[in-house]
Structure 1
Amino acid sequence: MFMMPTIDMVATGKNIERLRKAAGLSVRDLQDVFGFATPQAIYKWQRGTAMPTIDNLVVLAALLQVKIDDILVVDAAIQVQISA
């Protein structure tokens, strides 16, 4: 058995919302920075129903002045059988 780390999307979403608020940024601010026509992607990130792409994570980390590791919540409790 191998312990496969996974991203806890709901906890990561809550983290994104908490960090955004702590940085004094609104959803609209993020929408403008990312050039999104609507704020739906950001709301999906915050609900944990979608994840930012890698390049968006890099920009988000810079905006929030944190490391990507500070945004993502990783759960290492998933065991997987690896077949050879």
Structure 2
Amino acid sequence: MGYPLIDVLRTGQRLKEACIKKNIEAKEIKQFLGLAAMQSIYNWFQGKALPSLDNFYALSSYLGTELDSLIVPQGRYQEHEILEDASFFRRQAVYFGFLLEAEAQSSS
């Protein structure tokens, strides 16, 4: 087992989804955490950065969820994420097939 890492992008997405489900806006988070600007929160949601441990813990409490449920380990997928990825690749394959068929028809 290697050193565990956090998937910052997916963790940010999960954090944003949790806020949406609870109908909590970035402005509320800013006020609750006493932040000077909302840019940090947008960076968290976009997976550009993670909250400090103190802010992450406070935010999980504010959302009424366990901190672990917001963190996505790097290299691990939840079952629904695997299905979403598979669906994406199927759509890409169908689209690629459509492009090849259109190219073949235009060449004839």
Query: Under TM normalisation by the shorter chain, which class is it?
Result: 0.7 to 0.9
More helix by share: 2
Structure 1 runs of 4+ aligned residues shifted over 3 Å read: none
Alignment of 1:1-84 (within 5 A): 2-76=1-75
Higher relative contact order (CA 8 A, sep 6+): 1
TM-score, normalised by the number of residues in structure 2 = 0.66
1:6-59 Cα distance to aligned partner (Å, 9 max, x none)? 100000000010001111100100011111121000001001111111111110
- RMSD in angstroms over aligned alpha carbons? 1.3
- Identity, in percent, stands at 26
TM-score, normalised by the number of residues in structure 1 = 0.84
Q: In 2, distance between residues paired with 1:69 and 1:30?
A: 19
Aligned length in residues: 76
In the alignment, structure 1 segments of 5+ residues that lack a partner are: 78-84
